[in-house]
Structure 1
Amino acid sequence: MATNDFTPMFGMGNPNDAYAQYFIGNSYLNPLTNPAEAGIGMSNVTFEPGCRNNWHIHHASKGGGQILVCTDGRGWYQEWGKDPQELTPGTVVVIPAGVKHWHGAACDSWFSHIAFEAPGEDTSNEWLEPVDDSQYPQA
């Protein structure tokens, strides 16, 4: 468990070891629903300062994608070819299937969001290259 004073609204959860290979820095995962029971997967994801996930794409033949609801701290979201977007509590980001993107904490702030995997057909995630320091907003 992280040793800090950051207490996310929906709990820190456990180290995100299953997906650690797709992150720079440490993240924590707190599942909020069971997709098999609820029909939708929702998890609180917490990022230590500077932590971000790799570029990735949520694929689907119909529907799909991801929705982020930012709850704590300050972070970033970026779509391929676009400028980074600052994320603060209350920010909602709708990411359609097929959009290459990344998200994570600001370099000087812990950050949490709830991630919803939008229902769809033939859904999968494709993990791509890390977000290098030249792509990551330092401000």
Structure 2
Amino acid sequence: MELKPVGATVKTPAAAFTGDVYLTPIHTGTGPSRMTIALVRFTPGAHTNWHSHAVGQTLHVTEGVGLVGTRDGDVVRIHAGETVVCPPEEEHWHGAAATTFMSHLAMLEAKPDGSDPTTWLEPVTDEDYERANTSISPA
């Protein structure tokens, strides 16, 4: 067993996120585990750029209300306690709804060669983000 100290929280880079987003690393696996876990906190309206993960990504919402969108236009509203699984190589984005904070645990695996599993793409347009917020019921 190993007790690990809490990692330092960092502000995420503006090149990959819109709005203010903060990441606290929780775990980075070292062979044979390749699992990485981080607590990610989104301020209202903040969200990721489009991106994909080589081995997929699991998001478990710990607080608030958020959105996850895919290239085919599907958007789901996510609430505390819910989990979304994004399959390998699926281009998606996620973040807080327009009027509330949202925090989630982001869980993903590194590639077998240890390289970065995330491919960052272009920002989500303001129009697409607004459409996602208004097309999904606020439940």
Q: TM-score range by the shorter chain?
A: 0.7 to 0.9
Q: How many residues align?
A: 123
1:34 equivalent to 2:25? Answer no
Distance 1:67 1:38 in 2: 19
Where does residue 116 of structure 1 map in the other structure?
107
Q: Which runs of 5+ in 2 are unaligned?
A: 1-5, 135-139
Distance 1:89 1:128, change over 3 A: same
**1:66 pairs with 2:61:** no
Moved more, 112-121 or 70-79: 112-121
Residue identity in the other structure for 1:69:
H
1:15 counterpart residue number: 10
SS at the partner of 2:40?
Answer: strand
**Which 4+ residue blocks in structure 1 deviate beyond 4 angstroms?**
none
Task: Tell me the secondary structure at the aligned position of residue 14 of structure 2.
Answer: helix
Query: Which of 53, 70, 75 is the equivalent residue of 1:79?
Result: 70
Q: 2:109·2:117 contact (CA, 8 Å) conserved in 1?
A: no
CA distance in 1: counterparts of 2:73 and 2:40, whole angstroms: 23
Instruction: Indicate if the aligned counterparts of 1:67 and 1:118 stay in contact, CA closer than 8 A.
Output: no
Asked if the contact 1:15–1:26 (Cα under 8 Å) also holds between the matched residues in 2, the reply is no
Q: Note the alpha carbon deviations across 1:99-138, whole angstroms, 9 max, x for none.
A: 0000000010000000001355356211111111111123
Q: TM-score, normalised by structure 1?
A: 0.79
Letter in 1 for 2:105: I
Counterpart in the other structure of 1:49: 44
C-alpha RMSD of the superposition: 2.1
Please say which of residues 77-86 and 120-129 is displaced more in the overlay.
120-129
Structure 2 residue identity aligned to 1:53:
T
Q: Which has the larger radius of gyration?
A: 2
Q: 1:3 corresponds to which residue?
A: none
2:79 & 2:97 partners in 1: Cα distance? Answer: 10
Call closer, same or farther: CA 1:24–1:38 in 2, change over 3 Å: farther
Report the equivalent of 2:118: 125
